[in-house]
Amino acid sequence: MHELPQQLANGLILGAMYGLIAIGYTMVYGIVQLINFAHGEIFMVGGFGALTAHLILPAGTGLLLALPLMILGGILAAVAVGVAAERFAYRPLRNAPRLAPLITAIGLSIALQQAIWKWYPDAKKARVFPQFKGDSIEILGATVQRGEIFLLVAAPLCMLALGLFVARTRTGRGMQATAQDPDTARLMGINTDRIIVIAFAIGAAFAAIAAVAHGLKYGQVDFRMGFITGLKAFTAAVLGGIGNIYGAMLGGVVLGVAEALATGYIEEIPGMTQFGGGSWKDVWAFVLLILVLLLRPQGLLGERVADRA
């Protein structure tokens, strides 16, 4: 098991990014039971928002200085799209059969991809995203890229803030109440429409932060980056227990680590050589998902929801 600390770090970093995006899936699902398949594209729009902010700034601005503005730009773009999607695509369908909002979400996902493809300058191919200069850093026997430190700082901070927000504030408690029973929550005077918009906005903001991290890590953003990453984040949300915010982060990290370990070590198991390596990592990640769902259908941290329907 050579390079184990490195592989664990690789998985943790990738997983933290999945987790940040998974928050958006899980919050929206927890409150309106909608799988927002356009969330991967909201992540992508966040990346382009951050890039736009960087392009607007005068050339030569230090990246550390520009970073807060890029995060802000990403969040603005992603939240605007997320809230607009809720208002114009999902709200009119709130009482429609469940398949209608789902198909809408898929349609919206394609529309957002094509909109960026068509109208963002030069976005028909990958666009270069700014990266930190300098060499990578050694932490506990693992090499970590400078851009990844942003993710390692941002992900726990975001989780902490979200946890406090949901548990301590009035709006957060309103969210919990709406998730438990929207009708009763409304009777108790909670503006559920507002709560739902806030859930979409928080999810979009987290996706934008993940998108900035993605850009810093890989040095590029492109109009298709939301699809695969979004699918992985959705898997993470299901793995962790959809509806549970801590589950989303845990699911992301478990998925990321599983991918890294599968790439690194499956082929060292005697007789499994041909099932190892990068090409099989997704297969193993989904095998893990199936196993977890067989043993714990509600996901790692999901609560067994009493039948409401």
Cβ contacts of 132 within 8 Å, gap of 6 or more = 63, 145, 146, 147, 216
Residue in 61, 72, 152, 218 binding another protein, rule: CB under 8 A: 218
Cβ nearer to another protein, comparing 4 with 80? 4
Q: Quickly count: other Cβ atoms within 10 Å of residue 111's Cβ.
A: 14
Residue whose CB is less far from another protein, 145 or 192: 145
Taking the C-alpha atoms of residue 72 and residue 154, their distance in angstroms, rounded to an integer, is 14
- Note the maximum CA span of the chain: 62
**Residue in 282, 284, 296, 300 binding another protein, rule: CB under 8 A:** 282
Among 119, 271, 295, 307, binds another protein (CB under 8 A): 307
Does 86 bind another protein (CB under 8 A)? Our answer is no
Q: How many CB atoms lie within 10 A of CB 136?
A: 14
Q: Which of 59, 64, 65, 99 binds another protein (CB under 8 A)?
A: 99
Between 64 and 305, whose beta carbon lies closer to another protein? 305
Beta-bridge partners for 142: 139
Site for another protein contains 115 (CB under 8 A): no
Closest contact distance (angstroms) between CB of 259 and another protein is 7
- CB 172, min distance to another protein, A: 25
Least Å distance between CB 11 and another protein? 7
- CA 234 distance to own-chain centroid: 8
Pick the closer one to another protein by CB: 26 or 113.
113
Residue type at 52 in one-letter notation: T
CB 205: neighbour CB atoms within 10 A?
24
82/101 with CB nearer another protein: 101
Note whether 264 binds another protein by CB under 8 A.
Answer: yes
Three-class DSSP category at 303: coil
Region 5-34 residues binding another protein, contact defined as CB under 8 A: 6-7, 10-11, 13-14, 33
Q: Name 34's bridge partners.
A: none
Least distance to another protein, CB of residue 124, Å? 5
Chain residues 173-202 in contact with another protein, contact rule CB under 8 A = none
149-153 — which CB contacts under 8 Å span 24+ positions? 150/67, 150/212, 150/213, 150/216, 151/13, 151/16, 151/17, 151/213, 151/216, 151/217, 152/12, 152/13, 152/16
Q: For residue 222, is it left (φ>0), alpha (ψ between -120 and 50) or beta?
A: beta
Q: Note whether 117 binds another protein by CB under 8 A.
A: yes
Interaction site with another protein (CB under 8 A): 2-3, 6-7, 10-11, 13-14, 33, 35, 37, 98-99, 102-103, 106, 110, 113, 117, 124-126, 128, 131, 133, 135-136, 143, 145, 217-220, 222, 224-225, 227-228, 231, 238, 259-260, 263-264, 277-279, 281-282, 297, 305, 307-309
